[in-house]
Chains A and B, each alone.
Chain A
Amino acid sequence: MPPVVQLEDIHKIYDSGEVPVHAVRGVTLQLHRGEFMAVMGASGSGKSTLMNTLGCLDRPTRGRYRLDGVDVSGLDRNELADLRNAKLGFVFQGFNLLARTTARENVELPMLYGQRRYSSAEMHARAMRSLDIVGLSDRADHFPSQLSGGQQQRVAIARALVNEPQVLLADEPTGNLDSKTSVEVMGVFQQLNAQGITIVMVTHELDIARYCRRNLIMRDGRVVSDIPVPDRLVAEAEMTRLREAESAAKLTD
């Protein structure tokens, strides 16, 4: 099976200001189906630019990017949009749900665009299935303001999954969550990965990266380290540990 993501000598140079910024300087990597990769690096390391390239939101200045076999360099703005709709799912740090819109309607959003047309019954059914996967089908008619941070992020994950993408791209998904909720959400990602979904996650927290399987570290636009994660954490185990620690704390009070 060919890799789902193939980057060949990717460069990105921003030319808008006085000095051109060489954000990504020759990144070559491959991602196979079912991988769970963390991308780490300080600010300015180029990890955001790399994610934008992976997400087909931006075109590389040099080099080739093949997503699921499709070379994206020949595609125009609308074709890229269709590609994103069909093959990618996005999860953001700030959740980016539509306010005053129910969870179900939020999850339905990607189905309003793209090449495939769904009837409203089909959209309803697919959205509910997606919410089911993240365990929120009982909150389908809630507004984001009525959901906790963790629940909102899970709705965002459901939205990212609704079109059955090849790759899930997550940009600091636990950045706005407390430590306990972060573990919960990482548990959802691990569950999805166990079912075969490919995930790429940008994070600057080593603790969070330990839930992934592969760790890519960037500096000054280059990959400086690309290793499997040692001492991998399992979310369920961590949740249990936290719960025990909490009840232990209560007993001593």
Chain B
Amino acid sequence: MTPRDRQEPSFAAAPAASTTGSRPTSPSTRTGSAAGLKSTQFRREREPNWRELEQMLDRLDKHGAVTLSSAELTRLPILYRATLSSLSVARNISLDRNLIDYLESLAARAYFRVYGPKSSLAAVLGDFFWHVLPQAIRQLRWHITLAGFLLILGALCGYWLTSANEDWFYSLTDPSMMGGRNPTASTEALRQSLYDPLPGAKEWLAIFGSSLFYHNAKIALACFGLGFAFGIPTFLLSLGNGLTLGAFIALFASRGLGIDALGWLAIHGTTELFAVTVASGAGFALAEALLFPGRLSRLDNLARRGRLAGIVAVGAVLMLLVAGALEGLGRQLILDTDTRFAIGGTALCFWLLYFTLAGRRGARQQDMDETYG
């Protein structure tokens, strides 16, 4: 007896004396000796194809698409469809669990390859910048216009108030952000703050630029995120930013430095303020989705508009990245007001052209609505 035999319980009543006797000679069909099973025959015919596909997938998993010749790459979808058809057949004719599991697994693996992501990261990002972002911005143009209007309104009020009475400056600005620029400062000190680079700035301005970015990004994301509170904080923030801006310019204008201050602001401000405006516009879009849900439920509408607004907010953060670079580098290195205006103006034109013209053709609107809308 082999060791395995010894472990098996002896359950038969009769002694295991003979290997030939004690068997019923069944009069019924001798099922065991008929022709091979249909499912076995099926497997024998199709198995080479499955094995070929399996090996191809193994190679793809290990080494990537480069290892397959173009002929093999053409064959992949064919083998995939053949396997799917095998799976459908097997489900109907075979009770071999392992076979069905295997085919299911093989078909799924091939399916991931055949319907896997086709585009590269560069292509996706390119599509985002050329189609998705500008189209999203255009869809929210009125919200952004409203935010811009509030900013300008705030700036005019701030300017007017501070020009009339300089004490308003203290109420309209945050002293910690102003770094000693206030009505008590001398005209010379104010001029210096516009033209003298910060001490040691040349080495560290790059870092300075990226830390400014974080500060601005926080403001922009607050403008966007607070849109959830029915847009009221966004409304106040937009107006408040404008008031600060107006007060700031009024202070410099009162010393005859108005144009210089505008130039100082313009080099990065056109981008930065535009970005904050865009973010506020996205916030208003959220608020609108909540306040006027239309035919959809508030939550559904928020999800629908939220994606669009999210894309616009991402765009605003990217603009702030540019603004941070301009502020950190440009403002400290370029001290000529005309050049500052030229750079700021160019940036503004660039953004306006980009948002209005980019990706008009290419008909990606449909895709975008499906993916993001």
Partners in one complex: no
B residues in contact (CB < 8 Å) with A: none
A residues in contact (CB < 8 Å) with B: none
